[in-house]
Structure 1
Amino acid sequence: MNKLQLLLVFFSTLIMTVGCQKETIKPNILWIYVEDLSPEFGCYGNNIVNTPNVDELAINGVKYTNVHMPAAVCSAVRSGIITGTMPTTLGLHNHHSSRDLASAIFLPDTIKTIPELFKDAGYFTYNWGKDDYNFWYDRRNLYEGDFRSIGMYGMSGNKIDWNAREEGQPFFGQIQLYGNKHVYNRKFKEKRIRAIDPDMMEVPPYYPDSAFIRQDLANHLECIELTDREVGEIVEALRQDGLLENTYIFFISDHGMRLWRHKQFLYDSGTNVPFIIAYYGEDGKLQKGTVNNDLISGLDIGTTTLGLANIEIPSYTEGIDFLAADYQPREFIISVRDRCDFTIDRIRSVRTKEFRYIRNFYPDRPYMQPNYRDEWDISKRMHQLASEDKLGENPAKFWGNERPSEELYDVEKDPDMINNLAYSEEYLGELNRMRTTLDKWIDATDDKGQYPESVDGLRFMYNRWKEQCVNPEYDQFK
């Protein structure tokens, strides 16, 4: 073989080797996880806020408009996403469960969380911020780095980022942002980017048009702008570290904003969240700058994340990989509400493209039965207006002493979900279809919410909240 032939063989081998190495480079994946924010960013159509950084994510990825979480409170949502299963399937549906060993819920040995699956695949995994999972676990099996207990919120990872990994190791990371919870910070007015005029707010018909409501809605938008700045800082850090081109960025809120009928409730305002996947490189699986209107469950976030890393998705998961070649859109999404702190409730919902069905298992208990928000000044004002019969017709429906056992809404004609069609003859066929769908799901998944919570779990809540525990389930401890 002459020198020319040897050189040709050498360079051919080199090209093939480099090509194979490029193909086997694993992508990094980062979840930017935000608390209590509704989809009110500029890219979602809000003309008041300035959100250039989140809008840039949408330009460099896919914006999803019809994503609904499996619950509307943080711990149940996070427990569902991190396991890829409905919280009711594994008994993780009651808010802030497993906060002590006596009442602990353990995952079956056959269940591995999403970060554990990434660890098995050689990824560096971390979560900077709260976990808030409703099961008992050894955090070291899920995440690297130091952590601490933050009381009712469980464990929280200390400051850590992708730079703690070994050189060349791919990472699956999470960064938790405060979102709407920024308003609880005493220095919020100093931290916010600007004050937004409450008079610019469009008040939903389920709230009275009062100054204190307008102010809270304005604060929510101020939190959105503050969150946008934080997102920009994260993206810039990835860019500076040379990681932006090979990192899928998931931007997620756990549920809707903090107010009533949003957080903890199963209307679109509670379950529908902003969700964007961005990828700044040119070799990704996304069609950049596109909008996806498919029904997507929050459960699908974990399974799709696994799919992007070419990690096998376990058969026990209930999520769908919506970026897979054989993806088929969902026909409906189930969302659940159960005990939230000391407030015992059970609500189930079915959401299709056209309708939202809600079943209230405790119609004798008011929507606004005693709950943790009662101490807020804004809640006291609402209770005062309700006692004086000054709420107005639509808000008063939510602040009465009873509620209907069933609700049905045409989400296209009635996006605010004001007109309950469950008792209309015209919609009886749709109502029956929804009833059947929910009944079949409850049976098929053995919805654990149909069974009483453990005595130890209730006792823990009673010992924590004492006289605020007014539901009859707590009488055994009095």
Structure 2
Amino acid sequence: MIRFITFIALALLLNPTTWAQKKKAQQPNIILIVSDDHSAPFLGCYGYPEIKTPNIDKLAQEGIIFKKAFTTAPQCVLSRAAMMTGRNTLDIQMTRFSAPLDASVTSYPELLRKGGYHTGILGRSFHLDGNRRVPETVAVLEKYGLETFRNRVDFLKTSGNRDTIFQQYSEFLNQVPKGKPFFVQVGYSDPHRVFNAKNFEPDPQKISVPAHWPDTKLLREDFAAYLGEIQRLDSDVGKVLEDLKKRGLDQNTLVVFIGDNGGALIRGKGTLYNLGLNVPLIMRHPGLIRAGQVTDALVSGIDLAPTFLGVAGLAVPKEITGISVAPAFQNATFAGHDFAFAVRGAHGQGLPTNSSNFDLSRTIFNKKYKLIYNAIWQIPYHPVDFAGQPFWVDLKQKHSEGTLEEPFDKLLFANRRKMFEVYDEEKDPFETNNLAGTAEVKEIEHELKSRLQEWMIVNRDYLPLPIAP
């Protein structure tokens, strides 16, 4: 009987037409929990041993973990725009950090709303209505009516305060009309800098530092503070999950946890390396997802939209280029994308004084190889969000004195980068051995460049193409 029910649920899930014929009350609720600057390795359920995340780990035990989930950019605005639309960052012209999402580009909450859902966005800024820090920018936003999200969802509130976020979440659920399914995005600021979760930090001496980082006292302290932010986040996620259960909504709610991009760590946020793009992605729904699964399907941020629309029984517009990951809910052989793409554009509102503020690069990768194309390769690496932190200042001092170990010195303080980087992701997961230009990867390098060239042409990329005449 259990197998029969599971079969029926899966058949309905994979057949939107049949699913759409069911009562709207049977449509699953959807909660999307978004952490900020969160690289994939740093959760207990992802195998990082020195972090305590019991609530997120339990969510994973009851659902599915996507080990190879990647954002379409290592920056919040660009990445979130793709998640919100199911379309890549170039396609929707969202490569400038402070750009508002154009009204002509449909977001999936709008489609869910039309399909009968009560919809909301709350918590940490969703970043897609432009930025109001500069008065001249605010004048433009208001003059042309570019802040559009108040018209796209039923409920829109933002806050960086943890208690206020939970209050907004409770307020939203209290307003959902009886019998109506809901979608809500709950955003958190953790583990974004500034790190201030003092009561949640692990012992800096008892944590594992990634092998491609210089292991210094100050770096350990900074990294422990980052892990503390994640442990604090776990407690907040636990409150949401507990409340959902108390309301009796947990059995028909698809709960999704994802990071918006990688952490502000060495070779993380702002870079196209794994720590910048690979984020945690966990999904749970007791009726649709077989518990305890781990998949290495190659998944992109653009896949959220078609997945949500599919489980809601709604049509997926042809403009959406993501794919539904619903087949992975019961099928361990689902492979995801053959290749995934990501872009790096301007960051923040600062002038282009370094590669933190302004960098232009593209990447294509599969499970085996990654190609990075640095269009302005002459500019050296400059960290995003932590250039003034004591651990980085200390590393710069060691570099200037010639006391930093050579592998780290070359990795972090080279005068310029290579235009192309190729990495064997299986043999070199920390991406430290650039194989570009070698006989070993000659054919695969050309294939990756060719595929990237096609993608850039189709999406009207403004960068020079990677294959010269």
TM-score, normalising length: structure 2: 0.82
Match of 2:120 among 126, 133, 138: 126
Task: Tell me the residue number matched to 1:30.
Answer: 31
Match of 1:400 among 410, 414, 423: 414
Task: Tell me the residue number matched to 1:421.
Answer: 435
Task: Tell me the residue number matched to 1:197.
Answer: 203
Q: Which range moves more in the overlay, 221-230 or 200-209?
A: 200-209
- How many residue pairs get aligned? The number is 409
CA drift at 1:207: 2.1
Q: In structure 2, what is the Cα distance between the partners aligned to 1:31 and 1:215?
A: 31
Task: Tell me the residue number matched to 2:316.
Answer: 313
Q: In structure 2, what is the Cα distance between the partners aligned to 1:242 and 1:339?
A: 44
Correspondence 1:240 to 2:246: yes
Q: Which range moves more in the overlay, 392-401 or 123-132?
A: 392-401
Q: In structure 2, what is the Cα distance between the partners aligned to 1:217 and 1:328?
A: 33
Task: Tell me the residue number matched to 1:85.
Answer: 87
Q: Flag the 1:240–1:164 CA change in 2: closer, same or farther, 3 A.
A: same
Which residue identity lines up with residue 333 of structure 1 in the other structure?
A
Correspondence 1:304 to 2:332: no
Q: In structure 1, what is the Cα distance between the partners aligned to 2:32 and 2:180?
A: 17
Q: Is the 8 A contact 1:88 1:449 kept in 2?
A: no
Q: In structure 1, what is the Cα distance between the partners aligned to 2:440 and 2:155?
A: 58
Correspondence 1:218 to 2:218: no
Look up the SS of the partner of 1:55 in the other structure.
helix
Q: Is the 8 A contact 1:91 1:448 kept in 2?
A: no
CA drift at 1:379: 3.0
Q: Flag the 1:21–1:356 CA change in 2: closer, same or farther, 3 A.
A: closer
Match of 1:337 among 340, 344, 347: 344
Look up the SS of the partner of 1:218 in the other structure.
helix
Q: Is the 8 A contact 1:322 1:328 kept in 2?
A: no
Correspondence 1:377 to 2:390: yes
Task: Tell me the residue number matched to 1:8.
Answer: none
Q: In structure 2, what is the Cα distance between the partners aligned to 1:309 and 1:353?
A: 30
Q: In structure 1, what is the Cα distance between the partners aligned to 2:464 and 2:257?
A: 33
Correspondence 1:163 to 2:174: yes
Q: In structure 2, what is the Cα distance between the partners aligned to 1:46 and 1:89?
A: 35
Q: Which range moves more in the overlay, 378-387 or 224-233?
A: 378-387
Unaligned 5+ runs, structure 1 = 1-19, 99-104, 151-156, 452-478
Which residue identity lines up with residue 176 of structure 1 in the other structure?
G
Deviations 1:223-245 (A, max 9, x none): 22211111111110001111111
Q: Flag the 1:176–1:214 CA change in 2: closer, same or farther, 3 A.
A: same
Look up the SS of the partner of 1:374 in the other structure.
coil
TM-score, normalising length: structure 1: 0.80
Correspondence 1:364 to 2:378: yes
CA drift at 1:285: 2.2
Q: In structure 2, what is the Cα distance between the partners aligned to 1:243 and 1:449?
A: 47
Q: What are the within-5 Å matches in structure 2 for residues 201-280 of structure 1?
A: 201-279=207-285
Q: In structure 2, what is the Cα distance between the partners aligned to 1:182 and 1:340?
A: 15
Which residue identity lines up with residue 446 of structure 2 in the other structure?
N
Q: In structure 2, what is the Cα distance between the partners aligned to 1:141 and 1:263?
A: 31
Q: Flag the 1:149–1:362 CA change in 2: closer, same or farther, 3 A.
A: same
Correspondence 1:173 to 2:187: no
Q: What are the within-5 Å matches in structure 2 for residues 145-164 of structure 1?
A: 145=155, 147=157, 160-164=171-175
Task: Tell me the residue number matched to 2:142.
Answer: none
Look up the SS of the partner of 2:450 in the other structure.
helix
Q: Is the 8 A contact 1:36 1:180 kept in 2?
A: yes
Match of 1:389 among 394, 399, 402: 402
CA drift at 1:381: 2.3
Q: Flag the 1:444–1:402 CA change in 2: closer, same or farther, 3 A.
A: same
Look up the SS of the partner of 2:283 in the other structure.
strand
Q: In structure 2, what is the Cα distance between the partners aligned to 1:428 and 1:148?
A: 49
Q: Is the 8 A contact 2:264 2:385 kept in 1?
A: no
Q: In structure 2, what is the Cα distance between the partners aligned to 1:448 and 1:91?
A: 11
Look up the SS of the partner of 1:179 in the other structure.
coil
Which residue identity lines up with residue 198 of structure 2 in the other structure?
K
Task: Tell me the residue number matched to 1:465.
Answer: none
Which residue identity lines up with residue 174 of structure 2 in the other structure?
N
Q: Flag the 1:26–1:90 CA change in 2: closer, same or farther, 3 A.
A: same
Task: Tell me the residue number matched to 1:138.
Answer: 148
Match of 1:50 among 35, 49, 52: 52
Which residue identity lines up with residue 58 of structure 1 in the other structure?
A
Unaligned 5+ runs, structure 2 = 1-20, 131-145, 161-166, 351-356
Which residue identity lines up with residue 271 of structure 1 in the other structure?
L
Q: Is the 8 A contact 1:128 1:158 kept in 2?
A: yes
Which residue identity lines up with residue 202 of structure 2 in the other structure?
I
Percent of paired sites with the same residue:
30
Q: Flag the 1:166–1:362 CA change in 2: closer, same or farther, 3 A.
A: same
Deviations 1:44-85 (A, max 9, x none): 112212222111111211111001110011111101110111
Q: In structure 2, what is the Cα distance between the partners aligned to 1:179 and 1:148?
A: 14
Q: In structure 2, what is the Cα distance between the partners aligned to 1:120 and 1:295?
A: 30
CA drift at 1:87: 1.1
Q: In structure 1, what is the Cα distance between the partners aligned to 2:381 and 2:129?
A: 24
Q: In structure 2, what is the Cα distance between the partners aligned to 1:127 and 1:146?
A: 5
CA drift at 1:206: 3.1
CA drift at 1:252: 0.5
Look up the SS of the partner of 1:249 in the other structure.
strand
Q: Is the 8 A contact 1:121 1:311 kept in 2?
A: yes
Which residue identity lines up with residue 133 of structure 1 in the other structure?
L
Q: Flag the 1:23–1:339 CA change in 2: closer, same or farther, 3 A.
A: closer
Q: CA RMSD in A?
A: 2.4
Q: Flag the 1:95–1:234 CA change in 2: closer, same or farther, 3 A.
A: same
CA drift at 1:107: 4.1
